[in-house]
Amino acid sequence: MHQDALVMKEIGGVRTPAQTATYITVNLEHWTKHNFGLWILKDAATGEMAGRAVLRHLTVDGADEVEVGYGFYRPFWGRGLATEVTLACLGFGFGELGLDSIVGVTSPTNLASHHVLRKCGLAFEKIFDRDDVRSYLFRVRHSKVLR
């Protein structure tokens, strides 16, 4: 996935093997510390790797947040999986983890992800710079889900 320029276009760009190894290490450390994080997604029918989902801590403008995210291999695009996995992560975050809010972070040009996040109840909150990259922050609060 990290080698596919089209898949990685909106989620940080192609990664070298060393960058991928660091990504995996960081996500495994998150699991060790928080007991949640990155999930690998497989097609239920074939067992083929479909992509990934994530619920993880990140810092936004100095504040600790929990982010929902996803990425899929191209053959799995357009099937509604991003919406399905986002809703599952929100359910886990609010239900099992007792979070008060969850954020989604996208690039300004990732209109498909803007649509998925809005469809799942997240609202655009602000523009911010993440690692010197302009990003959009969407948020949903637990109280909004309960209504």
- Going by pLDDT thresholds of 50, 70 and 90, the confidence category of residue 11 is low
Q: Would you kindly state where each structural domain of the chain is located, as residue ranges?
A: 37-146
Burial letters for 80-111: b for 16+ Cβ neighbours within 10 Å, e otherwise?
Answer: ebbeebbbebbebbbeeeebebbbbbbbeebe
Q: Per-residue pLDDT averaged across 139-145, rounded?
A: 81
CATH superfamily of 37-146: Gcn5-related N-acetyltransferase (GNAT) (3.40.630.30)
Q: Per-residue pLDDT averaged across 10-28, rounded?
A: 69
- Going by pLDDT thresholds of 50, 70 and 90, the confidence category of residue 79 is confident
**Choice between 38 and 5, residue whose per-residue pLDDT is larger:** 38
What confidence tens digit (pLDDT) does each residue in 55-67 have?
999 999 999 999 9
Q: Cβ contacts of residue 49 below 8 Å, gap of 6+?
A: 40, 41, 42, 43, 73
pLDDT for the residue 44: 83
